Structure 1
Amino acid sequence: MSKPTVVVLGAGGAQASGLIRGLGRSSTELRLICCDRKFRAEAVIDAGNQEVHQLEFDLLADSAKLHEVLSDADLVVNCTGPYYTLGPVILDAAIAAGTNYVDICDDADATELLLQRDVAAKDAGVTALIGMGSAPGTTNVLVRLALDSLPPGEASASITWCVDASDMVGAVVPHFAHSFSTAIAEAGGTPAWEDLHPSRVKFPEPIGEQLVVTLSHPEVITLPRFTRVTEATNQGGLIPEDFTHLGWVISRLPGNENRTAAMHAIFETARVQHADREPVGAGLIVDVRVGSEGIAFLSGGKMSQEDATGTPAAAGALVALQGRVPGPGVVSPEVLHPADFFASLRQVSAGGGGMTAYRTRNGEVLEHVRIRDLLTALTAVR
């Protein structure tokens, strides 16, 4: 039996490196075709014992080469960015090639564009799993797990996160500014600071209390589309909080090029000036409620964002290769059965990044509950 071929686009980037490391931990033998415009001379692709091939080409300038590479693959994982410019282009190429697709898209407006490809994907027999990172990605699956464990009825989902500014590299930088400018669609640009509802949220240690604001994120779009969630909110921020304020200020500059250049310059300067600062890590709270009953998931730890994003993407890729993503069509991670996702996550994870779950009533914690027990209960009735 031949090895499945997985094409990784943007393979020289940070999030892709986490994905590839994750796939390298899997017992599933794979043939990885790692593509980028240019790989750094000193770069080493860490894929464990997986078969790896590197290809350098410009996927936008050489569409014929892209089609050739995708046509020979079982799956393409798109780690290029920013997604609000490249996402639809790559998904269109995958549909044209008839190749199943996974990405880590975290732009809300790009998500809308990707979902518009649903009919085309169905017609081509292509299954596209979009937003399969940390947030979105793991957050969506956690919401699904909570919904499957709560009583029937309309639900709400609140997603709150923070990440360390040291992880702001590459395409993540313009994405952050873009999240401000699209935070409230009807605002027609970056909202006033007070309209972003800034608040302070206490995350599990070692993260502690952090500033978060309303930012655009795909979960707000996809959860009401694919689940019984009728109200979804997203707030996030950077550590230290000065970087959150900077992101908002820069997002108000005219022109995307000005914003991107300014933000890269500021963040790179800050990283140099604070090179001796110990990164705090990242925090996440996913609070799902049906009436007065709820389940909340909390995490805080020092896992880098390239692993926090790349590892669930690797799990999603394995689920896709197993044919366990409902399709064809364009779907988001909340359509996955949580047991399938977490089984694959155990294969690709290096450990760490622990998550704690609680049953709640009217937002107040009732009792600790193990994610394993929630999964076991669902599997028993599957």
Structure 2
Amino acid sequence: MSKPTVVVLGAGGAQASGVLRGLGRSSTPMRIVSCDREFRDGRVVTAGAQEVTQVEFDLMASPDQLYDLLQSADLVVNCTGPYYTLGPMILDAAIAAGTDYLDICDDADATDLLLRRDEAARAAGVTALVGMGSAPGTTNVLVRLALDALPAGDASVAISWCVDASDMVGAVVPHFAHSFATAIPDAGGTPSWEALGPKRVRFPDPVGEQMVVTLSHPEVLTLPRFTRVTEATNQGGLIPEDFTHLGWVISRLPEGDARTAAMHSMFETARVSHGDREPVGSGLIVDVRVGDEGIVFVSGGKMSQDDATGTPAAAGCLIALTGQVPGPGVVCPEVLRPADFFSALRDVSAGGGGMTAFRTNGGEVTESVRIRDLLEQAQAVAG
């Protein structure tokens, strides 16, 4: 049986590096075609023992080359950004080429545009898995896992997260500002600070208490579409919280190249001013409730966002290559069977995820629960 071919776009960037490391740990042999506009300083892309071919081209300037690459591929992994400008173009190319698609899109408005390609993807026999990173991505699968273990009925989800500012590089910076500008769709721009509902949330050590605000994230859009969730919120922030305020201020500048340049300059200046600070890591809380009963997942640790995002994306690649993503069409990670996801995750992970789960009643923790037990319960219910 020939090895599947996976095209990775934006392969020279930080997020793609985590994907490639994950694929490199996989026991599934594959051919990887790593593509970017340029690989700085003659960087050679590797993925463990996987066969890797490196290609430099500008996909905006050479769409025909992108189409040719996709025609001979089984899966394209889109790690370019920002997604609100590049996502739809690349998915359209994948649909035209008849190639399955996966990305780590974390812009709600871009996700909406991608979901509108569902009919075209179905007609072309293409399955597109959108938002297969950490949040969205792992968050969506955790919600599905909780729903499979909770009673029937409408569900609510509250997602809180924080990321260390040391991970704010490349396209992540304009994305963060864009998340403020689109946090409340009807606001017509960046809402006031008070309208973002800032609050302090306690994450597991070593992350501790951090400030989070309402930001535009796809889970709020997709969970009600693909599950029985009727109410979903998403709040996040950066560590130290100065960077969260900075992102809000930058998002109030007029859009354009000048704003993008200002973003990178201001974030880099702020990073330098905190140069002697030890990075804290990232934190995540996913609180799922049906009536009074609930399950909450919590994590906190020093894993970089490269790996926190790239590792679940690599797991998503394995699921896609084995035909376990429901399709064809454009779907999001909450449609995946949690057992499939965690099985693939074990194959691509370096370990040390640190996720714990608890049952709750009325929002109060009643007992700890193993994710393994939740998976077994979900499989028993599914038959």
**What TM-score do you get using the length of structure 2 for normalisation?**
0.99
Q: Is the 8 Å Cα contact of residues 45 and 54 (structure 2) preserved in structure 1? A: no
Question: Which residue number in structure 1 is paired with residue 151 of structure 2?
Answer: 151
Q: CA deviation digits over 1:40-93, x for unaligned, max 9?
A: 124232311000000000111111100000000000000000000000000000
* Cα deviation digits, residues 293-346 of structure 1 (max 9, x gap): 000000000000000000000000100001000000000000000000000000
Aligned 1:2-81 pairs, distance under 5 A? 2-81=2-81
In 2: Cα distance, 1:229 partner to 1:95 partner: 29
Gaps of 5+ in 2: none
Match of 2:178 in 1: 178
Q: Distance in 1 between matches of 2:134 and 2:325?
A: 17
Q: In 2, distance between residues paired with 1:275 and 1:187?
A: 36
| Structure 1 counterpart SS, 2:123 | helix
Is 1:325 matched up with 2:364?
Answer: no
Describe how 1:237-248 pairs up with structure 2 within 5 A. 237-248=237-248
Quote how far apart the aligned CAs of 1:275 are: 2.2
Which position in structure 2 is the counterpart of 1:128?
A: 128
Match of 1:378 in 2: 378
Match of 2:249 in 1: 249
- 1:74 & 1:380 partners in 2: Cα distance? 33
Q: Which moved more, 1:258-267 or 1:142-151?
A: 258-267
Tell me how far apart the structure 2 counterparts of residues 300 and 255 of structure 1 sit (CA, whole Å). 34
Once residues 212 and 257 of structure 1 are traced to their aligned partners in structure 2, the CA distance between those partners, rounded to angstroms, is 28
Q: Which amino acid aligns with 1:362?
A: G
The 3-state SS of whatever aligns with 1:143 is helix
CA distance in 2 between partners of 1:353 and 1:170 (Å): 24
Partner of 2:221: 221
**Unpaired segments ≥5 residues, structure 1:** none
Question: Does residue 164 of structure 1 match 2:154?
Answer: no
**Pairwise CA distance, 1:352:** 1.3
Deviation of 1:248 after TM superposition, in Å, equals 0.4
Partner Cα distance (2:335, 2:159) in 1 = 18
The aligned residue for residue 199 of structure 1 is 199
CA contact (8 A) 1:281 1:300 kept: yes
Equivalent residue, structure 2, for 1:82 = 82
For residues 343-354 of structure 1, the aligned pairs below 5 Å read 343-354=343-354
* Displaced runs of 4 or more, over 3 A: none
- Counterpart AA for 1:295: I
What letter corresponds to residue 243 of structure 1 in structure 2?
A: F
User: 1: CA distance between counterparts of 2:122 and 2:379?
Assistant: 29
Which residue does 2:307 correspond to in 1?
A: 307
Q: Counterpart of 2:40 in 1: which secondary structure?
A: coil
* Secondary structure in 2 matching 1:49: coil
Shift of 1:379: 2.3
Q: How many Å separate the matches in 2 of 1:42 and 1:274?
A: 30
Q: What letter is aligned with 2:167? A: D
CA distance in 1, matches of 2:124, 2:313: 23
Deviation, 1:269, is 1.5
Q: Deviations over 1:199-245 (max 9, x none)?
A: 00000000000000000000000000000000000000000000000
1:352 and 1:174 map into 2 onto residues whose CA distance is: 30
Q: Percent identity?
A: 78
* 1:108–1:216 CA contact under 8 A, matched in 2: yes
Deviation, 1:148, is 0.3
Find the aligned partners of 1:289 and 1:33 in 2 and give their Cα distance. 42
Matches of 1:20 and 1:46, distance apart in 2:
7
Alpha-carbon distance in structure 2 between the residues aligned to 1:258 and 1:40 = 24
Count matched residues.
Answer: 382
**C-alpha distance in 1, partners of 2:354/2:44?**
28
SS at match of 1:235: strand
| Partner Cα distance (1:15, 1:377) in 2 | 33
Distance, in Å, in 1 between the alignment partners of 2:28 and 2:58 is 29
Residue 255 of structure 1: CA displacement? 1.8
